[in-house]
Amino acid sequence: MAWRGAIVAEPLLILDGLRKHYGGLAVTDGVSLDLRMGEIHAIIGPNGAGKTTLIHQVSGTVAPDAGRVIFGGRDITRLSFPARVRAGLARSFQITSILSGFSALENAALAAQRRHGSSFRFFRAAARDATLNTAGMAALEAVGLAERATMQAGALSHGEKRQLELALALATEPRALLLDEPLAGAGQEETARLIAILRALRDRYAILLVEHDMDAVFALADRVTVLEQGRVLATGTPAAIRADAAVRAAYLGEEEIPC
């Protein structure tokens, strides 16, 4: 895949030597990488490689033991998760975190509320706020869910719930998206739809993507970083990663890198 012009800009997000230990286990061990606007940078690796723990450190839900997180030229290593949201970092989670009893629009409006640091207002009052509704509807439109705005979130299909997760992240008006397995559990048609949505979003945001679907990773990514036992094994274009013998060895017996 050829790199597009937008990716030559200075990095928006820099991870500098991030380390996290739990007892004697190094879950992330000196991880350094960067993310640029207009880029999808995928993180892959065998189970237990430290991918989700790394995303936790970037989003602020887990504090690193060492290293720095630089966002927009600012050291945000010690900022809280809400403060990072307000700074322009948004994330999705492996497990769907939508409010099933609320409509898709109410969910998106509540997510928009996080951007303004007022997430303890009453849910229904927030969802009736015109400004929040406007932001929420724009997010739903961006992921193709505008026609489902009034539908209860719990009644959406699995793929639509994944789309709603993306909308919740977009409603916070981010500059960078941290997506932790956004295709998890999606069927073939749902996966194709989600891939198309992510392609459409790439020019507007910087996207750090953790995903186990290798076909999707190599269809979407501009760069790929491979983690193994908490360390960076390789970083490069999809073509370079496919051809890397050490990467193939790391995946041997777990999953095949598609060609």
**Of 93, 201, 192, 97, which is closest to residue 143 (Cα–Cα)?**
201
Residue with tokens 């370079």: 240
Q: Residue 132: what pLDDT? A: 84
Query: What are residue 165's phi and psi, to 5 degrees?
Result: -55, -45
The highest-level CATH class for domain 1-88+174-259 is: alpha beta
Q: Which parts of the chain sit beneath pLDDT 70?
A: 1-8, 93-96, 116-128, 252-259
Q: Residue 163: what pLDDT? A: 94
Q: Residue 205: what pLDDT? A: 95
Query: What are residue 225's phi and psi, to 5 degrees?
Result: -110, 130
Q: Residue 74: what pLDDT? A: 96
Parse the chain into domains and list their residue ranges.
1-88+174-259, 99-173
Q: Residue 211 burial by CB count (10 A; 0-12/13-18/19+): exposed, middle or buried? A: buried
CA distance 69 to 116: 22
